[in-house]
Amino acid sequence: MGLIILIVIAAGVVLYFFLPKGEKAKVAPAEEFTDPRYSTAPTGINLIQKAQDEGKLDLETALIYKIKFLFNDPTLPKEYSTPNAPFEDNGALAEVSENWDKLSAKTKEALKPYFLRPDNPESFIRKS
């Protein structure tokens, strides 16, 4: 039993002298994060919503643009394209679903490729 106690004490002494002493982990300041995914700048979704709120875009166009932004569609107008992406879809997919019955046939047709299974030849993912 005495041998076990002696081994535990020896291990404690070794750990005490050879492990770093209480230094705080160095964390980079927020301005050092350059990955656009961590940006606090508005995303394309935010810019599209703002334009809709200001009356520059109607509901149908805004929904199409939001989905194009989420799918990184190169046909999205450049003024709504940003390098930083939202962590979530900001409700854009639910907004399409909630308004589906109100949308024109033309808008439904424009949105259809984004909602098809990727293995469907007509899906946006398959074509891109």
Q: Read off the pLDDT of residues 14-46 as tens digits, 9 standing for 90 and up.
A: 666 666 665 555 555 555 556 655 667 788 999
Mean pLDDT of the 46-63 span: 96
**In the chain, where the domains are located:** 39-103
How confident is the model at residue 23, as a pLDDT? 53
Instruction: Pick the closest to residue 60 from 113, 111, 123 (CA basis).
Output: 111
Average pLDDT, the chain: 82
Angstrom distance (rounded) from CA 96 to CA 66: 10
Angstrom distance (rounded) from CA 52 to CA 63: 10
Q: Read off the pLDDT of residues 66-86 as tens digits, 9 standing for 90 and up.
A: 999 999 999 999 999 988 776
